[in-house]
Structure formats: C-alpha cells, structure tokens
Amino acid sequence: MRTISEVAMTQESRTEEPRTQESRSQESLGFIHRFEPGTGAARPLLLLHGTGGNELDLLPLGRIVAPGAALLSPRGPVSENGMPRFFRRLAEGVFDEADLRRRTGDLAAFVAAARGRYGLGAPLALGFSNGANIAASLLMLWPEVLAGAVLIRPMVPLSEPPMADLAGRPVLILSGAMDPIVPAENARRLAAQLTASGAAVAHRILPVGHGLSQGDLSLAADWVRGLALPNAA
C-alpha cells in the first residue's frame, strides 16, 4: 500500500510543480508546524496527519485539494511508540477522552495564534485518520475555529459530544467500505452527530480500506472546489 505522500505526489506530478516552501518546520505557537503561504484567495487549509505522520505528510495532498491555498500543518504532540499523534488512545479505537478534550483545546489555541501570526481566515480542516478524529472533535468542542472540514477515515471522537452550533458548516466524510479500523456504523453515527449540530454533511463511502486512495484525492478536490464558504472572521 502506498503512503499518503506517495499517492499525493503521483497526482501532483501530473498537475503542477509544488510551490516553494517559504519556511522550514518550526516549533512555535505551541506546536512544531510548517506554514506555506497561499498564492490566491483560496480558503486556508489546516492539515492534520494520521498516526506516525508529521507536519510534512499532508502538504502534497493539500496542494492538490486546494491549489493556491495557504497550508498550516502542525505535528501531533503525542508520541505513541515514537509515532506522532494528536491525542492519546487506550487501545485501537478506544480514546483517552480527557486527553482528547485537552489536546483539542490546545489545537484550537494554536489555530487562533497562527491566524494572528500569518494573517489567515478561518481554515478548512483536512484530516486523515487520527487527524480527522481531532478535526471532528474540534468541530464539536470549538465550532467557531473551523470554516468546515474534510474528514478522511474518521470515527466518533467523543462518547458524549456536546450539541455544537455548526450553522451550516460544510463537512465531507470519506469512509472506506473495507476499513478494518472504522466500522461503517461508527462513521454513519459521526455523520449523524455533525448533521444534528447543523453541519452540511456529505458522507461518501469508497470501495477501499483505511489507507488513502486516489479516489479520496479526487472527491476531496472536487468538493473543495464546489464550496461557497462564508467569510468567517
């Protein structure tokens, strides 16, 4: 199975040369992160990697999904056997919810600080697996932080989520029909929870497993192109 970067880089080579990265990864604002300035008026992307990834992992994907968008990509601060994550888990699919809530607040504070430093509007989250899970948690606990989200292979992050006011925020959920990690019922429940909170949810199920596929890239890019996002302050 190819990695996220390999899938994205293959597609990127067919389209355009990647932009020059304006800055190196840096440890500031509470997270090691990479920021790439945008070249147009596209909504900025908050890139949230999966377990074992880092701040570089989703940059090629971000360039494909939203060409010209500013890219803000933090590294997960938790280490699980040397693999970065955004929050702790007790077992596969069993989250440490107290840690998740705390780390979600830390990520919300990072986004607010980064917006001030880099002059960004509210970002659209693009998260994979563990990154998609904390993006879903961010929508539920800090709904004002994101303009919307693309959640690739997410699962329900909180056993008792609050009723957030997502007020029509667009959310795309991409699930895998053969995903051995995320049960189909769990993904449907997450879609229902976000819909009940007012989000405009599109849930697509692809004939794939947990890994990223070319179909995910195509669906995400088409969906982002079709958005008419409000100008969040």
Burial of 214 (0-12, 13-18, 19+ CB in 10 A): middle
> b vs e for 129-146, b when ≥16 Cβ sit within 10 Å of the residue's Cβ?
bbbbbbbbbbbbbbbbbb
Closest C-alpha to 111, from 150, 60, 74: 74
Burial of 122 (0-12, 13-18, 19+ CB in 10 A): buried
Q: Could you list the active site residues?
A: 129, 179, 210
**How do strand 31-36 and strand 71-74 relate by DSSP bridges?**
antiparallel
d(CA 7, CA 64) in angstroms, rounded, equals 11
Distance of CA 128 to the CA centre of its chain: 6
Closest C-alpha to 4, from 200, 172, 210, 166: 210
Secondary structure element (H or E) that encloses residue 178, with its range: none
